Amino acid sequence: MSKKTKSFLYNFIGFAFFYIVAYFLIITFTHLTGYWIPITAAVISTILSPKFQVARFQGEEKIFMKWLFVKGIKEVK
């Protein structure tokens, strides 16, 4: 599996996790109805989920992660 595919899957899994959690929390604790529930969950999960990106570093491709709760940019192994 290529690094770009792994990066895409990491982004999807991170987004999906936060989306599902936010979706059920919004249903439980707010009075939003209709399209506002998934839209709000998508905005929250976009902000909270980590971002993964592939970059060439010292001649090889590496996956880097940037996240709101982690200072700086971290390399993913």
Residue 77 pLDDT exceeds 80:
no
pLDDT in tens, 24-58: 999 999 999 999 999 999 999 999 999 999 999 88
Q: Span 5-28, mean pLDDT?
A: 97
Please name the residue that has the structure tokens 């987004």: 15
Burial of 26-61, coded b for 16+ CB within 10 Å and e otherwise, reads beeeeeeeeeebeeebeebbeebbbbbbbeeeeeee
pLDDT of residue 57: 81
Q: What amino acid is encoded at 24 in this protein?
A: F
In whole angstroms, give the CA distance from residue 20 to residue 56. Answer: 33
pLDDT of residue 49: 97
